[in-house]
Amino acid sequence: MERHRPVRPSTMARHLILAVAAGLLAVTIACGSAATAVPSTIVAIEAPVQAPTGVPEVAETPSQDAGENPIKGFFVRVDDVVFPVELAATPEDRIRGLSGRSYLNSGTGMLFVFENAERFRFWMREMEIPLDIVWISSGCTVVDVSVDVPFPDPSTPLNDLPRYSPESPARYVLEINGGEAEVLGVGVGDPVKFLGGLEGEYGC
């Protein structure tokens, strides 16, 4: 009688491992073919739109001497109207602005100069007089006028103060007495020129 030689456990294990490996290889090849046959869909997830953060607020705080109205040979000509102006070209001067003033001489104003043109937001914190805000582009043209902006009630919380900004980016802002823009015919599209000590210094 022929006797079958028993298979050693180690040989059976090797055969089992080889069989499993072969099966896995076949599955992998099949899956790979299927994956390359069906193009994947890339879903773009848009980030939520946030309010622009590059729009600074100019906070008006009281000047040290509210009675002074210094004009130092700086002039802004809007079309054919010339305004003697005070200059606010530093962050400190822009923050101080005209706040705390009880008056502004007729036909004068304050010129705010910024490094870049943006849709700046101004508020009337601690202001005591109404203003016209003339917004001027980097190209030295009036792009908007906020007319007769009222000064707020002193008890108004800061968060409730209205903000004023131009329709188009502005690099310069001319503040004058409320109502003067209409009386003097200052409006959108008017050319602007800096004169006196401002000439050639700030771009217009």
- Which residues, 6+ apart, have CB-to-CB distance to 165 below 8 Å? 55, 119, 120, 121, 122
CB of 188 closer than 8 Å to CB of 79: no
Paired tokens of 139 = 């190209």
The CATH code of domain 57-196 reads: 2.60.120.1140
Mean pLDDT of 154-162: 93
pLDDT reported for residue 42: 23
> How far apart are the C-alpha atoms of 83 and 110, rounded to whole Å?
9
The band of 201, judged by pLDDT with boundaries at 50, 70 and 90, is confident
> How far apart are the C-alpha atoms of 46 and 157, rounded to whole Å?
36
Q: pLDDT tens digit string along 42-62?
A: 222 222 223 332 334 443 333
Nearest to 150 by CA among 134, 126, 130: 130
pLDDT reported for residue 200: 87
Q: pLDDT tens digit string along 82-105?
A: 999 999 999 999 999 999 999 999
Paired tokens of 111 = 């010129």
pTM for the model: 0.66
Give the residue, 15 or 84, on which the prediction is more confident.
84
Domain boundaries, the chain: 57-196
The band of 145, judged by pLDDT with boundaries at 50, 70 and 90, is very high
Give the residue, 19 or 157, on which the prediction is more confident.
157
> How far apart are the C-alpha atoms of 130 and 177, rounded to whole Å?
6
Helices (H), 38-129: 91-96
What percent of the chain has a predicted confidence (pLDDT) above 90? Answer: 62
Buried b (16+ CB within 10 A) or exposed e, 122-159: bbbbbbbbebbbbbbbeebbbbbbbbebebbeeeeeee
Paired tokens of 105 = 């001489």
